[in-house]
Copies of this chain bind each other. A is one copy, B any other.
Amino acid sequence: MLVDMPLDRLREYRPDPEEPADFDAFWKQTLDDAAGSPIDARFEPYDARLATVDVQDVTFAGWGGQPVKAWLLLPRHRSGPLPVVVQYIGYNGGRGIPYEWLTWSAAGYAHLVMDNRGQGGGGKTVADTADIAPDGHGSSSPGFLTRGIEDPYRHYYRRLITDAVRAVDAAKASPDVDPTRVAVIGGSQGGGLALAVAGLRDDLSAAIADVPFLCHYRRASQITDNGPYAEIGRWLKGHRFEVEKAMATLSYFDAVNFAARADCPAWFSVALMDNVCPPSTVVAAFHRYGGPAQLEVFPYNGHEGGAEYDVPRKLGALASVFGPS
């Protein structure tokens, strides 16, 4: 059943953003700090026993110069550098195993799949990247959204988003990649990260964000009890008097704010029965997106959105920005 506004009201939904005054300064400082460490991207061959795909085990310096893992998948039969799809992964998953990620290299692109630091314990895809927070963090609900909620500088997503921004640098460092043709892509948390990176970089060809997470936290925490947004409410249930403080921290990581700063072409999708990333939170980001953007609506889907059935639309999007491969 519908979990949020009907479609006609979603089309008009443009809430006031919650944006801290020093949003840009915060991120400039964060990325400048990160830029102090060289990207140091290493690409090791990985034997996945596949006949048509070359897999590389990637390590690069993410937040704090810490090692972040990724996969790079390349069609074995290739001639010269390829456009690259940089993919971010959903909540509590990780880069997993290469067999999960065969689509974009089969389509003829380089495909970098960034790992999620500290995640991967959700029982689905696993991760191989440690999360190191030298200053630690205070009380958190189980999960990642409230880890460091006492201070944006210590918040988990400051680290993960920095990793995501630098994953593009890592991809561009590969000799197999054409650094002028980079798209970011992801679903759910991966979609939120794609929007964040689109807002923080200016060298992207496209951003594809499916049923993105990390959007419009206040409303999300009021209208769903499912998925990671519910961690906010669980934390605030105990921390009754810290609602505004928590919202202030989260606003530094709100894709509604990143979207406003993006300018590359974007493709969003939203599912009207998605109780994990409710549609009004998605359209809040979509309506504020700074570049040209299209929205695909799945009226009877939940958080799975378009799944593999939406690959043709994305192949079309990539072809439109990358040109013939």
Contact = CB atoms under 8 A, between A and B. Distances in A.
A1 B146 contact: no
A197 B137 CA distance: 25
Interface in A133-147: 133-144, 146
Contacts of A97: 308-309, 311
A34 interface: no
B49 A312 contact: yes
A132 B125 contact: no
Given A136-B132, A223-B1, A299-B243, A121 B234 contact: yes
Contacts of A134: 132, 134
Secondary structure class of chain A's binding surface, majority of residues = loop
A28 interface: no
A74 B312 CA distance: 19
A301 interface: yes
Contacts of A237: 123, 273, 300-302, 304
A9 interface: no
Copies of this chain, how many?
Answer: 6
A96 B77 CA distance: 27
Max chain B CB contacts within 10 Å: which of A122, A239, A240, A299?
A240
Contacts of A225: 1
A104 to B, nearest CB: 10
A107 B49 contact: yes
B308 A96 contact: yes
A15 interface: no
Contacts of A298: 240
Nearest to A237: B123
A306 interface: yes
B135 A135 contact: no
Interface string A85-116: 00000001010110110110111100000000
A179 interface: no
Contacts of A301: 237, 240
A144 B224 CA distance: 24
Contact of A1 (B120, B142, B233, B309): B233
A142 B142 contact: yes
Contact of A234 (B122, B137, B315): B122
23 contacts: A1-B222, A1-B224, A49-B107, A49-B315, A49-B319, A51-B106, A52-B52, A52-B108, A53-B106, A76-B77, A92-B141, A92-B142, A94-B139, A99-B308, A99-B311, A118-B136, A120-B139, A122-B142, A127-B138, A130-B135, A132-B135, A133-B136, A142-B142
